[in-house]
Structure 1
Amino acid sequence: MAKHFITQVPGTPIPLSPISQAVVVGNTCHISGQLATYDDGYRPGSSHEEAEHAFELLFRIAEHAGFERSDIVYVDIAFIDMTRDVAAINALYGALFTNPPARTIYQAVAMRD
């Protein structure tokens, strides 16, 4: 089956690693994890602000690949501090999706500065 590698979507920052932003295989799109990065690098903000920007990038990449927000079926979300951040992210997640996709959430302490 043919694969289409998307390495740089216009309007998104250049990836920080040697990765494809997405790979389309058939009618499935696999999108790499998104962070609150901009053209000038990472900009720390509240958990809501950072997640909102990461989702904005995710949606841009999906659209560029020919998919819609409603096509998203699964999301992984990594938190630095789940106890502090999960309520804000749950509110955002609920607002972004009419039919929320399945998801896994986990705490990634090593992401701390």
Structure 2
Amino acid sequence: MPKRYIVEVDGVPPSPSPISNAVVVGNQCWISGQLSVGDDGAYVPGSAREEASRAFAHVFRIAEAAGFSRSDIVYVDLAFIDLADVKEVNGLFGELFPEGRRPARTVYQAAKLPFGGRIKVQAVAPR
């Protein structure tokens, strides 16, 4: 059975849910869904791009704490409250993941996200 360990990261606000920031199993890092929250764990509203930027910053911080880099991310799952926001976030996505390093992704509309958030980002990264 592959080695498994939990990743908890200083600087990433704790979730009110009983979850881990990430779980590493063997050579894969599974990063929990991240929202636009501040250091105190409270939701920080903004444009879709601003909220996605905050959520991605948490994802990248967690990946790095687990020994992975942004370029190791091969899959991203994006949940939106309003699919009209996808176009705005696509611009950010292209900046964060340059041509040739873009991960696969799934985009879907959620009926509701925790704290009234607009977007949730989760990711998978292998070594």
Fold match by TM threshold 0.5: yes
Q: Who is 2:57 aligned against?
A: 56
Q: TM-score, normalised by structure 1?
A: 0.93
Alignment gaps of 5+ in structure 2 = 117-127
Q: Counterparts of 1:96-111 in structure 2 under 5 Å? A: 96-98=96-98, 99-111=101-113
**% same residue:** 58
1:44 corresponds to 2:45: yes
Q: Give per-residue Cα distances to partners, 1:62-82, cap 9 Å, x unaligned.
A: 000000111000000011110
Q: Who is 1:31 aligned against?
A: 31
SS of the residue 2:33 aligns to: coil
SS of the residue 2:46 aligns to: coil
Q: Who is 1:95 aligned against?
A: 95
Q: CA deviation at 1:109?
A: 2.1
Partner Cα distance (1:11, 1:106) in 2? 28
SS of the residue 1:14 aligns to: coil
Higher relative contact order at CA 8 Å, sep ≥6: structure 1 or structure 2? 2
**What RMSD in Å do the two structures reach over aligned CA positions?**
1.3
Alignment gaps of 5+ in structure 1 = none
Partner Cα distance (1:2, 1:38) in 2? 32
- Given that 2:21 and 2:32 are in contact with CA atoms closer than 8 Å, whether structure 1 keeps it comes out as yes
Q: Give per-residue Cα distances to partners, 1:32-91, cap 9 Å, x unaligned.
A: 0000012321111111000000000000000000001110000000111102x0111100
Q: Who is 1:22 aligned against?
A: 22
Q: TM-score, normalised by structure 2?
A: 0.83
